[in-house]
Amino acid sequence: MQKTAASGGLRLNYRRTFLIGFAFLGILLLWQVYDSWCPTFLTDIFARRMYGLSSAELKAGDPDKILNVQWIVGIIMACDNLAALILLPIFGSLSDKTHTPIGKRMPYILTGTLVSAVAFPFIPLFFHRGQIAGMVVMMGVVLMFMMMYRNPAVALMPDITPKPLRAKANGIINIMGYFGGAAATVLGIFLKLSDYINAADAARKLWIIEIPFVVASILMVISAFVLFATIRENRLAEEMKDELALGERLAAVETPVDDDAPMSKANKRMLLAILGAEFLWFMADNAIGTYIGNYVIYYLNSASSATMILTIVGGLASVIGFAIAGSIADRIGRKWTVTSGLGITVIALAVMCFVRPTGTVTGAGGEHAFPALLFAVWAVKGFGMALVHNCSFPMVVELCSSKKIGKFTGYYYAASMSAQTITPILLGLVFKVTLAWGALPVYSTALFFASCLVFGLCVKNIKARKLENVNGLEALVGD
């Protein structure tokens, strides 16, 4: 006999959670392609405009000039994030107030997916033709409509998951997202961006950079269709009213959430502390994500496929982290799970500060062998950040009722996107001043350490009240 909320037990529906994860799969799929290719596109196209030479020619003759254009790359990447900072809370609040026959989140997910998927393949096309304005406009269109998609897609999980189960559910959602990132990464291994960048102009083949964007668009549309075909928002919200109400009573908060009263001072302090620490770790993590492709190509002088292998190694470690983070949080609390993840990441990136180019030439392209130590760094970092991401978002939406999940998801992304708006520009200026690629790991290590201190010192470790979570085979049964 299945246990229900009425009998004192809560059950995480794994099948349904995996299906909701298709929304996040589409998000990370696009993001992985965007972050892996676009900074290098911008580096190459601005190198030509400023110095009349391709980035490959500058790397061979005057590599400092590559560093000198990174601040411009940072500004372009930051402008996209600035738009996200404005749009994410707007779409979150709008979706909270939306009521349609297909739900409150689904209209935004479907519209955002369709427009982003159509616009995405035009980014490499304009780059190949040397049209900066067209490329930047298409990047802006993709980012704007992905913001329409992202907040409602992420809010969908807590909409229909009781609060004490959200850390485990978030782990499943993130694993699905990493499947999307892995699909993009595999494409980057076989279609090497460095082969395109290092080729003479006449030998550059558009299909090498176009195929990853086209495939990402197709898979995004498929993932949105699967989500739409299997998740009925309105029906699920009605069916789960009792379980969601029980989750509210068992929430890990200092004071109960009440929509009819102002947010309590204790809960507000908790929210601000989480968002402040989140701002710092996204400053650090986005710096790595934005510039690692250029770091590998222009500093380590290695093939771009090494970046993709790094991503796979980190992704596999992240999957392990997401799979066990919920159980760890049940034992030691979400605060110490996040703090431990940040500490692990600090150690990994501190090691990266000592990595140098190998100088060993391999292959016909003249690339250097990739430093094997970075694979270990990425595995440890991936595991640590999985613990962080798995628990931090549920901690934010724990502090609101079901009526404001989109709004509080907007707060979470406002903190992350404001960090991602600032950090590419700031680190780009650091590169310009230091003319040293080694500034990248130092910068990120310092910020991760600061976020670990803020989270460890300012966030309280409040566990959910004791409840009987259904485990084992019984947890897999039912809709």
Q: Is 258 helix (H, G, I), strand (E, B) or coil?
A: coil
Residue 235 to residue 458: CA distance in whole angstroms? 40
**pLDDT given for residue 260 in this prediction:** 65
Mean pLDDT of the chain: 84
Helix (H) / strand (E) containing 126: helix 122-128
Average pLDDT on 231-252 reads 82
Q: What percent of the chain has pLDDT over 70?
A: 92
> Is it the case that residue 181 has pLDDT exceeding 80?
no
H runs (alpha helix) in 199-264 = 206-230, 233-239, 241-249
CB 314 within 8 A of CB 379: yes
Average pLDDT on 332-357 reads 94
> Is it the case that residue 445 has pLDDT exceeding 60?
yes
> Is it the case that residue 441 has pLDDT exceeding 80?
yes
Q: Is 463 left (phi over 0), alpha (psi -120 to 50) or beta?
A: beta
> Is it the case that residue 463 has pLDDT exceeding 70?
no
> Burial letters for 218-244: b for 16+ Cβ neighbours within 10 Å, e otherwise?
ebbbebbebbbeebebeebeeebeebb
CB 346 within 8 A of CB 445: yes
429 exposure class (CB count in 10 Å sphere: 0-12, 13-18, 19+) = middle
Residue 432 to residue 104: CA distance in whole angstroms? 46
**pLDDT given for residue 465 in this prediction:** 53
Q: Which residues are CB-contacts of 350 (< 8 A; sequence separation ≥ 6)?
A: 441, 445
**pLDDT given for residue 478 in this prediction:** 37
In 3D space, the residue among 348, 296, 295 whose CA is nearest the CA of residue 321 turns out to be 348
Residue found by looking up tokens 């502090």 in the block: 399
Model-level pTM greater than 0.85? no
Average pLDDT on 6-28 reads 78
pLDDT (tens digit per residue) in 157-172:
888 888 888 888 888 8
CB 28 within 8 A of CB 181: yes
Confidence of residue 363 (pLDDT cuts 50, 70, 90): low
pLDDT (tens digit per residue) in 32-80:
889 888 988 999 898 888 888 888 888 777 888 888 888 888 888 877 7
- DSSP lists the bridge partners of residue 469 as 10
**pLDDT given for residue 473 in this prediction:** 31
135-139, 192-196, 346-350: range with lowest mean pLDDT: 192-196
pLDDT (tens digit per residue) in 368-393:
888 999 999 999 999 999 999 988 98
> Helix, strand, coil shares of the chain as percentages rounded to 5?
80, 0, 20
Record the tokens describing residue 247, joined without a space.
């989750």
**pLDDT given for residue 471 in this prediction:** 37
Residue found by looking up tokens 């560093």 in the block: 67
Average pLDDT on 185-198 reads 81
- DSSP lists the bridge partners of residue 361 as 368
pLDDT (tens digit per residue) in 297-330:
889 988 888 888 898 899 889 989 988 988 898 8
Strands 468-469, 9-10: pairing kind:
parallel
**pLDDT given for residue 410 in this prediction:** 85
Residue 107 to residue 471: CA distance in whole angstroms? 34
> Is it the case that residue 464 has pLDDT exceeding 50?
yes
125-134, 143-152, 423-432: range with lowest mean pLDDT: 143-152
> Is it the case that residue 2 has pLDDT exceeding 50?
no
CB 424 within 8 A of CB 43: no
* CB count in 10 Å sphere of residue 260: 5
> Is it the case that residue 200 has pLDDT exceeding 90?
no
Q: What is the DSSP string of 13-38?
A: -HHHHHHHHHHHHHHHHHHHHHHHHH
> Is it the case that residue 474 has pLDDT exceeding 70?
no
Residue 48 to residue 264: CA distance in whole angstroms? 55
Q: Is 372 helix (H, G, I), strand (E, B) or coil?
A: coil
Task: Give the DSSP letter of residue 463.
Answer: P
> Is it the case that residue 6 has pLDDT exceeding 80?
no
Residue 179 to residue 300: CA distance in whole angstroms? 27
Q: What percent of the chain has pLDDT over 90?
A: 30
Torsion of CA 334, 338, 341, 343, to 10 degrees: -120
* CB count in 10 Å sphere of residue 457: 10
